[in-house]
């Protein structure tokens, strides 16, 4: 099974807008890929959802976090990387992926995408994962 780590921007886009990010979430729910997540990523998702521009109540936000946890394998990264210099927050994605020995990081973030690969972990867009897996 393909092991993935999904960046916060994919979760937010999938929850709010749908499209390819939503298809990635659907692949996880359907068990076609295995999602790994860390407490740092969950915290970032929670903080973004609670921003005024999205208007999610704390109750709804907590339900979304619970749902993400229910489809994820929880990882506690042993090491902190400082690979993404431009946006240090992106390193939580790298940390989780390295600890999980993930095959792919799925992101829409150009800082991560520009790396293309890290420790044999390919960094790709949602559309690339969908093309790789195929949808039924």
Fold of 2-133: Rossmann fold (3.40.50)
pLDDT tens digits for range 116-126: 999 999 999 99
Which tens digit of pLDDT belongs to each residue from 76-91?
988 776 665 566 678 8
Q: Give the residue-averaged pLDDT of 59-76.
A: 96
Residues 6-27 have pLDDT tens digits of 999 999 999 999 999 999 999 9
The mean pLDDT of 90-111, rounded to a whole number, is 94
SS3 assignment for 69-136: HHCEEECCCCCCCCCCCCCHHHHHHHHHHHHHCCCEEECCCHHHHCCCEECCEEEECHHHHHHHHCCC
Average pLDDT, rounded, for the chain: 92
């Amino acid at each position: 099974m393909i092991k993935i780590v999904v960046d916060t921007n994919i979760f937010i886009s999938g929850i709010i807008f749908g499209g390819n990010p939503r298809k990635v979430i659907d692949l996880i729910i359907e068990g076609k890929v295995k999602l790994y997540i860390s407490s740092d990523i969950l915290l970032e998702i929670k903080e973004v959802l609670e921003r005024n521009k999205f208007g999610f109540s704390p109750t709804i936000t907590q339900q979304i976090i619970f749902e993400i946890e229910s489809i994820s394998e929880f990882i506690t990264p042993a090491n902190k990387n400082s690979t993404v210099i431009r946006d240090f927050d992106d390193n939580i994605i790298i940390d989780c992926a390295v600890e999980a020995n993930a095959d792919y990081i799925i992101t829409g973030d150009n800082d991560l995408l520009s790396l293309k690969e890290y420790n044999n972990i390919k960094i790709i867009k949602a559309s690339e994962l969908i093309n790789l897996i195929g949808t039924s």
